[in-house]
Structure 1
Amino acid sequence: MKFSDFLLASALLLAPLSLSAQHGHGQGHNAAGETHAHKAPHGGIVRTAGKYHVELVLAGSQMTVYLLDGKEQTLANKGLTGTAMVLQGGKTTSVALAAFGDNQLQGALPAGATPTTAIITLRRGSETISARFDKLASTSAKAKVTSYACPMSCKDSASQKPGSCPKCGMALVKKA
């Protein structure tokens, strides 16, 4: 291991956890150190980052990041750049995040990667926005298990939380 990799891995492990709390998958609960609950508008994990919130969505080898305002509304990605320092299996990898569409940044994880921790650093003009995401492997597994759909298979009825089908009004059922 190169010395620079050692320093980076050490920084990931020693970075203070009190910077912000982690919230997963739209559960809307308060985490330690938080004074309010968060929603995950895109089904990811939301962290407080100063006056902003950062949402991280992991899907296979794709990492998608959204910058949210104080009311968890998605902000445009114009002028936004970013990187992710990802810890997986004791190794640290830097992932460049590039603007995609109007409101997201995306980056590709190495094939077969199962990240455990990610530190997202976004730059907007002279402003730096950082958020730390821990226990990603266990959070991703929970996200795959908890999904709901209409028993009548109505189009666009899939949801990550229980509720009613927007088409027919039937109660959504949990899928494995």
Structure 2
Amino acid sequence: MKFSDFLLAGTLLLLAPLSLSAQHGHGQGHNAAGETHAHKAPHGGIVRTAGKYHVELVLQGGQMTVYLLDGKEQTQANKGLTGTAMVQQGGKTTTAALAAYGDDQLRGALPAGATPTTAIITLRRGGETISARFDKLASTSAKAKAAAYECPMKCAGSASDKPGSCPTCGMALVKKA
């Protein structure tokens, strides 16, 4: 981890409470930055506002999948996009690299052990930095484990507590074994 990454992560941690009171500029009454987003998550994860963007985090099977969404929750291509996740679990903070996967997502392994409680996702494209903070992840992960249906292709974010279609590939969800 470079010193600049460490400095950025520390600054984000310090400024996170301030971002909770800032409204993003869609002018449509959306939630404040950092809050649980009022719109449905396209991939079954958690959406947070990040300036003019939204960031969706899906935690499943020891893996983090991150999607960059525009102001209308449309998934953006991952071309030129890099990222890191600072994950807090059990009072310990670790950093994980996020690598491009497919055309529209970044993936990284969750640190082994306890369920993460907080994650700060930092994405970079060119000179632009996009950050989002996800709190109370332990309760979110418990809901995902309780999901009874999943995509037969094991797509990220497909877990559901009711039948339906996979948000990624469109296949019908099947009951978990």
**What TM-score does the superposition give when structure 2 sets the normalisation length?**
0.68
CA displacement at 1:11 relative to structure 2: 6.2
Indicate if the aligned counterparts of 1:117 and 1:134 stay in contact, CA closer than 8 A: yes
Q: 1:20 to 1:147 in 2, by over 3 A?
A: farther
Cα deviation, 1:8-43, whole Å, max 9, x if unaligned, reads 68964773160679xxxxxxxx75677x72111111
Aligned residues: 150
Larger Rg belongs to: 1
3-state DSSP of counterpart to 1:142: helix
- How far apart, in 2, do the equivalents of 1:99 and 1:32 lie? 28
Pairwise mapping of residues 125-136 of structure 1 onto structure 2 (< 5 A)? 125-136=126-137
Shift of 1:109: 1.6
Provide, for residues 32-69 of structure 1, a one-character-per-residue CA deviation record: whole Å limited to 9, x for no partner.
677x7211111110001111100000112111100011
CA distance in 2, matches of 1:108, 1:48: 23
Rate the CA distance shift 1:148–1:108 in 2: closer, same or farther, 3 A.
Answer: closer
Seen in structure 2, the aligned counterparts of structure 1 residues 20 and 146 have a Cα distance that, compared at 3 Å, is farther
Please tell me the root mean square deviation across aligned C-alpha atoms, in Å: 3.7
Question: Residue 90 of structure 1 corresponds to which residue in structure 2?
Answer: 91
Decide whether aligned partners of structure 1 residues 159 and 64 sit closer, same or farther in structure 2, where only a CA change above 3 A counts.
closer
CA distance in 2, matches of 1:107, 1:45: 16
Go from structure 1 to structure 2 and tell me whether the alpha carbon gap of 1:159 and 1:70 turns closer, same or farther (over 3 Å shift).
same
The answer on whether the counterparts of 2:100 and 2:106 sit within 8 Å (CA) in structure 1 is yes
Q: Write the mapping of 1:131-142 to structure 2, written as runs, cut at 5 A.
A: 131-142=132-143
Alpha-carbon contact 1:47-1:54 (below 8 Å) kept? yes
1:160 is aligned to 2:167: no
Which amino acid in structure 2 is aligned with residue 116 of structure 1?
T
TM-score when scaled to structure 1?
0.69
Check conservation: 1:55, 1:66, Cα contact below 8 A.
Answer: yes
Any conservation in 2 of the 1:67–1:74 contact (CA below 8 Å)? yes
* CA distance 1:20–1:74, change in 2 (3 Å): farther
Pairing 1:36-115 to 2, within 5 Å after superposition: 37-115=38-116
Residues 20 and 49 in structure 1, CA contact (< 8 A), matched pair in contact too? no
Give the Cα separation in 2 of the matches to 1:159 and 1:89.
Answer: 25
Percent of aligned pairs with the same residue? Answer: 75
SS in 1 for 2:58: strand
